[in-house]
Amino acid sequence: MLRRKHIRGNFNRSRVRICCGWESLYEHNEAPEWFQDAKLGIYFHWGTYSVPAFGIGWYPRNMHRKRSNAYKYHMQPYGNPSDFGYHDFVPMFNAENSNEEEWAVVFKLTGFGPDLNS
């Protein structure tokens, strides 16, 4: 059940009132033109779990589940998660091999719309 909430703001110099329900949202088309024309969206998340670089972003959870592949993997190079926990990866997450310009080129080649030079 939706609760009746109102969002008030000053968007594009006009007062906007949005309440619960799709009808209210249909009245407002504030998305930029490039967004409306876009056929592709790119989302990625890069975090500490990229240090062990095993599996997916659920590594912090799965490394403690004894029957999981993440646990088996973790035991070999790092040992028991009780002794070498997820927080021990944090100092290793230093982005030394990061190449943001290369990612920007890849995004541009895929047809990603907005200017990435921000």
Do 41 and 95 share a domain, yes or no?
yes
- pTM beyond 0.85: the answer is no
Do 38 and 10 share a domain, yes or no?
no
Rg (CA), the chain: 22
Question: Which two tokens mark 26?
Answer: 């249909």
Do 38 and 84 share a domain, yes or no?
yes
Do 61 and 105 share a domain, yes or no?
yes
| Span 72-96, pLDDT tens digits | 999 999 999 999 999 999 999 988 8
Do 64 and 47 share a domain, yes or no?
yes
pLDDT for residue 10? 45
Q: Is 74 exposed, middle or buried (0-12, 13-18, 19+ CB in 10 A)?
A: buried
Do the beta carbons of residue 48 and residue 93 sit within 8 Å?
A: yes
| DSSP secondary structure letters along 48-116 | GGGTTT-SSTTHHHHTT-TTSHHHHHHHTTT--TTTS-GGGGGGG---TT--HHHHHHHHHHTT--S--
Domain total of the chain:
2
pLDDT for residue 86? 96
Question: Which two tokens mark 81?
Answer: 């998660």
105 — pLDDT class (breaks 50, 70, 90):
confident
For residue 56, give its domain range.
32-109
| Span 15-73, pLDDT tens digits | 556 677 777 777 766 777 777 777 667 777 788 888 999 987 899 999 999 999 999 99
